Amino acid sequence: MTTTRIVITIIITLVTGQVAYGDSRPASTGFRINEIMAGPARDWDGSGAFSSRDDEWVELKNDSSGDLDLAGYFLTDGDSIPRFAFTGTLAAQARLMIFGGAAHAWEVANGFPAFGLSLGNSGDAVILWQVANGETLRVDSYAYRSHEAAADRSVGRLNDSGDWTLFDGLNPYTGTTAPVGTRCNPSPGAQNLCETTPVQASTWGRIKLRYR
């Protein structure tokens, strides 16, 4: 059994608990989830062809001031089954994109069920784990709702450090369930900038008040 398989076995044994909607824990190591695309409807990975499996993506960021050793970190969805194991180092303030195709390749190579990131469109969670000193720790997580997983919408930390925000410029959301629409576009591999005022649904009463 390889070292990777041993570590993953530890994760399967120790992972417990559910992630509530919006639950996000500060990443003490600086490594954290920055943006999520659960419902792709176009070729996000640049392969030249659309795949609902391969074009899902999760953007992660090293928000620390130094290089980060990624050994021991794993990514899962809400069922806590390992979907991707990290290797190498990530420079300070650098971003790392994990597409569904890369997760699928990792699963095949390591003998796991090959589903890719397997992010549910009716709501799910993305969880970042670290195995260190014999323990499996939940480093960061975000649980999203169905409207955040609609076609070509992403959800991410505003300006890389603020509240989780909906980026729905490619598929506008006019509902009132948080996070509400912003009309800003997803930004894989780049800072999550959004200067647009969030869109709020209007009622007939509000419209009439404007014209009194």
How far apart are alpha carbons 118 and 124 in whole angstroms? 9
Architecture of the domain spanning 3-210: Sandwich (2.60)
- Residue 28, both tokens: 């003490």
How far apart are alpha carbons 137 and 156 in whole angstroms? 22
pLDDT of residue 198: 47
pTM over 0.85: no
pLDDT of residue 95: 97
Q: Return the HEC string of the chain.
A: CCHHHHHHHHHHHHCCCCCCCCCCCCCCCCEEEEEEECCCCCCCCCCCCCCCCCCCEEEEEECCCCCEECCCEEEEECCCCEEEECCCEECCCCEEEEEHHHHHHHHHHCCCCCCCCCCCCCEEEEEEEEEECCEEEEEEEEEEEHHHHCCCCEEEEHHHCCCEEEECCCCCCCCCCCCCCCCCCCCCCCCCCCCCCCCCCCCHHHHHHHCC
pLDDT of residue 99: 98
Cα separation of the two ends of the chain: 74
Low-confidence stretches of the chain (pLDDT < 50) are 1-7, 9-17, 197-212
pLDDT of residue 25: 59
pLDDT of residue 192: 95
- Residue 38, both tokens: 């659960």
68-101 burial string, b = 16+ CB within 10 Å, else e?
bebbbbbbbbbebbbbbbbeeebeeeebbbbbbb
How far apart are alpha carbons 196 and 184 in whole angstroms? 7
